[in-house]
Amino acid sequence: MSATEEAEALKLLFRNQYSFLISKIMFTASDLGVFDLLMESKEPLTSVTIAERLGTSPFGMERLLDACVGYKFLQVERKDNQTLYGNTNLANLYLGKRSPKTQYYSLKFNAEFVYTRAQHLADSVREGEAQTYRLSDISTKDFYEAMYRSKSSLREFMEFMHEMWSLCGRDVLNAFDLSNFPLVCDLGGCSGALAKEYISLYPNSTVTILDLPEVVETGKKHFVSSEEHRIAFHEGDAFKDPIPEADLYILVRTLHCFTDEKCVQLLTRLHRACKPGGGVLVVEIVLNEDRTGPLEAHIYGLVMLLCTQGKERTPSEYNALLSAAGFKDIQQKKAILFDAILGRK
């Protein structure tokens, strides 16, 4: 290794050692209201002004703002011997609570729920199990029980899902022409964000969201208007209860939460319920066949290890699951962040 290569390796090592702080920096600035304040001010502000308006320590706020500049969440300019801070386009679009495409609850989920479990990554690697039960206020190993333990945590998780699929839903639905599937069942459809994208793309379609009773109650109350007659909710557990008949079943970021055996069990139930000529649309981040990437899949793989019994999979592994359940003509297409896999009955 040359001196130049070693210097670059050292820089990379240093950055990676502290990269666990990135989600905390983003969420702290968002939660304190930094990005919203700078959006509303219409002009850059000093760290002292930002601290005064948000009720924080000027010393602490300056450290946080400078870190945000380093990660390109904020930008700075010098004027009249003062350092002025302003949002980057990234912050304006995604990082404020009132940003047009806010990811506030996504930041909150990663900075709080995932971050606390990451403290037990070594335990998870040794045991091969989720670490939810190690937290003092949660005794279950089940991810969904942990997320749905209170109305407030359920609502926050649904907000997180709503943000994600309001942002990425249209992209994954555009991967295939789904116009031949007017009757759709979105399993674990949560807030209905993906259902809204589907009926927007295909005006003659209807979507039934199959989810647990507490999710359905919250979805009806806070996310889907009773006047939207093309979206319906159906209470049930997809592993146990009858599944509504549909032309297309959608599983978005669902299979990666479960073991291979549970995935085949679920997919087999869908195949039996599916209309002839219908299909299933699976949305996941798919590993390269040689498992060398993408990095996002490796990161989510560790999140699944910490929080669930599942894992990320390669194309051939998803093909095997779908084939075992009876689906044919399996195709995969890449979207911006996620992959769409379509199997037919």
Alpha-helix residue ranges (DSSP H) falling in the chain: 3-17, 22-32, 34-41, 47-54, 58-70, 89-90, 104-108, 115-118, 121-127, 143-147, 151-173, 193-201, 213-222, 260-273, 295-307, 315-324
Backbone region of residue 284 per phi and psi (left: phi > 0; alpha: psi in -120 to 50; beta: other values):
beta
Give the number of C-alpha atoms closer than 13 A to the C-alpha of residue 67, restricted to the C-beta side: 19
233 beta partners: 209
Q: How far is CA 282 from the centre of its chain?
A: 15
86 beta partners: 75
Contact 205, 181 (CB under 8 A): yes
Amino acid at 206: T
Tally of CB atoms within 10 A around 225: 9
Cα torsion 107, 108, 110, 112: sign: positive
Length of the chain (residues): 345
C-alpha pair distances (Å), 263 with each of 211, 253, 255, 303, 333: 17, 12, 6, 18, 20
Amino acid at 294: P
Backbone region of residue 242 per phi and psi (left: phi > 0; alpha: psi in -120 to 50; beta: other values):
beta
CA nearest neighbour of 298 among 317, 311, 316: 311
Kindly tell me the burial class for residue 71, based on how many C-beta atoms sit within 10 Å of its own C-beta (0-12, 13-18, 19 or more).
middle
Convert 109-132 to b/e letters by CB count within 10 Å (16 or more is b): bbbebeeebbebeeebeeeeebbb
Q: Which residue out of 120, 162, 256, 271 is catalytically annotated?
A: 256
Is-catalytic flag, 162? no
CA nearest neighbour of 103 among 196, 31, 50: 31
Q: Which residues are known catalytic residues? A: 256
